[in-house]
Amino acid sequence: MGVARPLWNGLTDPARSVALEVLHHGPLSRAELARRLSLSAGSLTRLSKPLLDIGVLTEIGTDAERRIGRPAVLLDVVPSSRHFIGVKLTGDEAHAVLTTLRAEVVASERAPLTSHRPEDVVAIVTRLVQDLSDHVDGVAALGVSFGGTSLDSATVASAFYLEWTDVPLARMLADATGIPAVIENDVVAVTEAEHWFGAGRQCERFAVITIGVGIGYGLVVHDRLVTSLDVGIGLIGHVPLDPLGPRCPLGHRGCAYAMLSIPAIRSSVSVAHGRDVSYDECLDLAVAGDPPARRVIDDAGGALGQLVALVANLTMPHKVMVAGDGVRLAHVARPAVLRRIRDQRDPRAAPVDLDVQEFGFLEWARGAAVIAIQKYVLDELSQ
């Protein structure tokens, strides 16, 4: 496994600001960059020239939208100049992707977790990293996401599905792969992926609700992720949504977990049918008009609408995204979702911009790669 030669090392803060603006929003003309960063034309030229000389930026053509004056040359990063690996750990599998500097997926791999011992998981991730590294000359950084908490992006404080406490995962991975490594909660990683390279890129405020084995929540305000020591605990999973709903494992009646999670929906439909029913079958039965499944799914859709309305009412985001491996619920129960949102909002309020994101485990892994990209370009993790 090769480690890519550092490219962003040694950039001054103003030069880094120029490069980050192009990475995040580009391609951009020099005039637009100067306007966004409140720089004079001369200062922008002075800052951009060395970035072009060392290959951080490149000129890619002219602005086709410009109608007056000389065509403006556009600046962009070179996405293929650096590659990153992101890994999403579940309780059963490791899903990995190789991406460019703009988080475009180049290749992917996955492997079962045959053991939860940290050493065994590190060995499995290392094999995935080796396989993906064969596609490129070097990897700049490795990011790993998981359902749980980390206070320093290096040590897993707790990970329920992996049964881990205080595991120095980033150091173990860096030692095993030779690649700088960073770790993060999976919902944080996905939210940052939408923030930097996804549907939230142009939004100063947006929220992400994830539906899956658990319920997750991410919030960006003033173009920054809102975070705290409680990130990864899954607090939103126990927000009450239906006083007559089923109980979650902690005894909360009608909370988000009890109404929306994949295990809860499967349990309700399975009890009604007297057999084990998969999540996709629950949704298929609802689409086919099966009365018990339709009732469960519509109740879940109403609960999802309640949660979206609550988030919109309290945080006033420009957009609310719904994602996760259980996101098909938002499609199958869409009428119930929209009806509950409407019922829970003041009629004078602006419509909620609800963005349902198609999602799979590779998107979770891509989020982990984005965490690696951020650390590389912001914290000079590659040094």
Which conformational region is residue 356 in: left (phi greater than 0), alpha (psi within -120 to 50 degrees), or beta?
beta
Instruction: Evaluate whether 223 touches 206 at the Cβ level (below 8 Å).
Output: no
Instruction: Give the DSSP H or E segment for 61.
Output: strand 57-62
Least-confidence region, from 29-33, 169-173, 269-273: 29-33
Tell me how far CA of residue 156 lies from CA of 98, 277, 366, in angstroms.
Answer: 23, 33, 19
* Same-domain pairing of 185 and 208: no
- Average pLDDT on 371-376 reads 94
- Average pLDDT on 254-267 reads 97
Residue 383 has pLDDT above 60, yes or no: no
* Same-domain pairing of 304 and 236: yes
Mean pLDDT of the chain: 92
* Same-domain pairing of 270 and 368: no
Least-confidence region, from 119-133, 187-201, 222-236, 244-258: 222-236
The domain of 20 spans 13-77
Of the pLDDT bands very low, low, confident and very high (cuts 50, 70, 90), residue 382 is very low
Residue 381 has pLDDT above 60, yes or no: no
- Average pLDDT on 310-336 reads 96
Query: What burial class does residue 318 get, using C-beta atoms within 10 Å of its C-beta: 0-12 exposed, 13-18 middle, 19+ buried?
Result: middle
Q: Where are the alpha helices (DSSP H) in 229-356?
A: 256-260, 262-273, 279-287, 291-315, 328-332, 334-343
Residue 69 has pLDDT above 70, yes or no: no
Residue 310 has, within 13 A of its CA and on its CB side, a CA count of: 14
Residue 3: inside a domain, yes or no? no
* Same-domain pairing of 180 and 209: no
* Same-domain pairing of 124 and 97: yes
Angle between helices 41-54 and 30-37 (to 10 degrees): 120
- Average pLDDT on 260-289 reads 97
- Average pLDDT on 71-94 reads 92
Of the pLDDT bands very low, low, confident and very high (cuts 50, 70, 90), residue 379 is confident
- Average pLDDT on 302-327 reads 96
* Same-domain pairing of 205 and 346: yes
Torsion of CA 340, 346, 350, 352, to 10 degrees: -20
* CATH number of the domain encompassing residue 369: 3.30.420.40
Considering only residues 196 and 66, tell me which one the structure prediction assigns the higher pLDDT. Answer: 196
* Same-domain pairing of 179 and 217: no
The set of residues, in sequence order, having a beta carbon less than 8 Å from that of 221 and lying 6+ positions away, is 204, 205, 315
Residue 235 has pLDDT above 70, yes or no: yes
* Same-domain pairing of 224 and 304: yes
**Number of domains the chain contains:** 3
* Same-domain pairing of 304 and 224: yes
Rounded distance, CA 71 to CA 29, Å? Answer: 10
* Same-domain pairing of 139 and 234: no
Rounded distance, CA 205 to CA 132, Å? Answer: 35
pTM of the model: 0.90
**DSSP per position, 329-360:** HHHHTHHHHHHHHHHTS-TTSPPP-EEEPP--
